[in-house]
Every structure is written in structure tokens, then in C-alpha cells.
Amino acid sequence: MRLIPFIFVTILLLQGCSIEPWVMPYERARLADPIMLMDPNPVSSSYLNHVYQARESARGAESGQGGGCGCN
């Protein structure tokens, strides 16, 4: 019985082997537009993340990296 979930997941993964790209390269013009960049200004976003990290307890899972202790 313990093998059933394993077999189920394995079948799902093996199905993944046959996945074809559903957005073809010639259909990616809009995605290649600079306005669709996740982090178009890394220096600016890194700075803003540092501002947030210094004033908030939450950290991590953001688009850039900060640094320092940001005391006070």
C-alpha cells in the first residue's frame, strides 16, 4: 500500500518526459519585451530590498539581495 503514492508520482513524472513546450520560441516576442523582465533594474531593486529588510522582520524570497545590519 505504501508503494501506491510513489507509483502515482512516478507515473506523473514520467508523463513529464513527454511534455512539449506549449509556448513556442516564435511566440515569445511579448515575453522578450523589456517591460516583462522580472528584475529590470537589479541595482535599484537590491537597494529597495535593503531598505525593506532594515525596517521589516521578514527576509528572503525577494527578487534581489541586501546586506548589513540596518540597525535603527
Residues contacting 28, CB < 8 A, separation 6+: none
x/- mask, another protein, residues 13-32, rule CB under 8 A, reads xx-xx-xxxxx-x-xx-xx-
Own/partner contacts of 14-22, CB < 8 Å, gap of 24 or more, are: none
The reply on whether position 49 binds another protein by CB under 8 A is: no
Among 8, 35, 49, 64, binds another protein (CB under 8 A): 35
- Count residues binding another protein (CB under 8 A): 44
Torsional class of 46: left (φ above 0), alpha (ψ -120 to 50), beta (otherwise): alpha
In angstroms, give the least distance from the CB of 50 to another protein: 8
The reply on whether position 36 binds another protein by CB under 8 A is: yes
